[in-house]
């Protein structure tokens, strides 16, 4: 058996501070073999930087996934192309994009295939199909010994995430939804042994609109012009959302998925 701790989207400074407090504690208590976090909003709410990634890695995160904001900041291409930052970008970006979309991680003498995919509904239809990208990756590693396959499906539409669950059921060991920053209560193990949740949630301010200051978000909805710049909320209590997945690597199936919701006041 191995345990994987998957952390929802880390939002800005308040999210990074929570990770520094909670991840070492969870590593001691739960003893996960692998800790993964979605880091596409780790730098002031949008994108990544070397310093912010370093904070997450130093706190005990082993590998980071991302999403549609991963190229938001200058220099992100250098981070994605340097293995030491352990950062993935969605695999279904067009050919030639910087970085990689999947990685085989050796943990406790087990090979864990981590895949990052980006949905297209309400995001960017010009992306390659995430369903077909998953097929291509699975074919690529078909001849290798893979003990578990974990997918971060970063998507806006719940329907797209659920549809992908049925498409990859039994082939992916775990499918963890990210992007909406709101944790869902549908975690379960399918009959074919895939752990699934539509959205793991976020590590961000409680008094926020999915991690950003509410004043500008409310104004933009009232005016319907989105003219107010969105800034990450950085005060008050912080919510830490994650999921713990237990995997039987002998049969390559998940046996348990458990939501982890903690509050730092």
216 falls in which pLDDT band (50, 70, 90)? Answer: confident
pLDDT higher than threshold 90 for residue 229: no
pLDDT higher than threshold 80 for residue 244: yes
Residue-wise pLDDT tens digits, 113-143: 999 999 999 997 789 999 999 999 999 999 9
- Whether 40 has a binding-site annotation, put simply, is yes
* 136: annotated active-site residue: no
Annotated catalytic residue within 44, 69, 136, 188 = 69
Domain coverage including residue 255: 2-264
Kindly state the tokens that stand for 119.
């949905």
- Domain with residue 230: its CATH number is 3.60.21.10
Kindly state the tokens that stand for 242.
């994650």
Q: How many residues does the chain have?
A: 265
pLDDT higher than threshold 90 for residue 219: no
User: How large is the angle between the packed helices 130-140 and 158-168, nearest 10 degrees?
Assistant: 30
pTM: 0.95
How many domains does one find in the chain? 1
- Whether 92 has a binding-site annotation, put simply, is no
- Whether 179 has a binding-site annotation, put simply, is yes
- How does DSSP classify residue 47? S
CB within 8 Å of 27: residues ≥ 6 apart: 5, 35, 60
168 falls in which pLDDT band (50, 70, 90)? Answer: very high
């Amino acid at each position: 058996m191995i345990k994987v701790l998957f952390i929802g989207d880390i939002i800005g400074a308040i999210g990074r501070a929570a990770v520094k407090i909670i991840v070492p504690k969870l590593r001691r208590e739960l003893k996960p073999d692998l800790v993964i976090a979605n880091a596409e909003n780790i730098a002031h709410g949008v994108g990544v930087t070397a310093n912010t990634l370093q904070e997450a890695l130093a706190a005990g995160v082993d590998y980071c996934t991302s999403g549609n904001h991963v190229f938001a900041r200058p220099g992100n291409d250098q981070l994605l192309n340097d293995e030491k930052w352990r950062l993935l970008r969605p695999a279904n970006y067009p050919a030639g994009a910087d970085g990689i979309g999947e990685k085989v991680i050796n943990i406790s003498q087990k090979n864990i295939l981590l895949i990052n995919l980006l949905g297209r509904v309400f995001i960017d239809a010009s992306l390659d199909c995430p369903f077909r990208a998953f097929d291509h990756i699975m074919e690529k590693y078909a001849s290798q010994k893979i003990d578990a396959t974990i997918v971060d499906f970063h998507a806006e539409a719940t329907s797209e995430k659920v549809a992908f669950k049925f498409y990859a059921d039994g082939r992916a060991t775990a499918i963890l939804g990210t992007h909406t920053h709101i944790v869902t209560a549908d975690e379960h193990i399918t009959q074919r042994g895939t752990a699934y949740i539509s959205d793991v949630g976020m590590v961000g301010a409680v008094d926020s609109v999915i991690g950003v200051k509410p004043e500008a978000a409310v104004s933009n909805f009232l005016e319907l012009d989105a003219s107010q710049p969105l800034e990450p909320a950085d005060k008050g209590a912080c919510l830490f959302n994650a999921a713990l997945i237990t995997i039987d690597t002998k049969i390559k199936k998940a046996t348990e998925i458990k939501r982890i919701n903690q509050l730092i006041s």
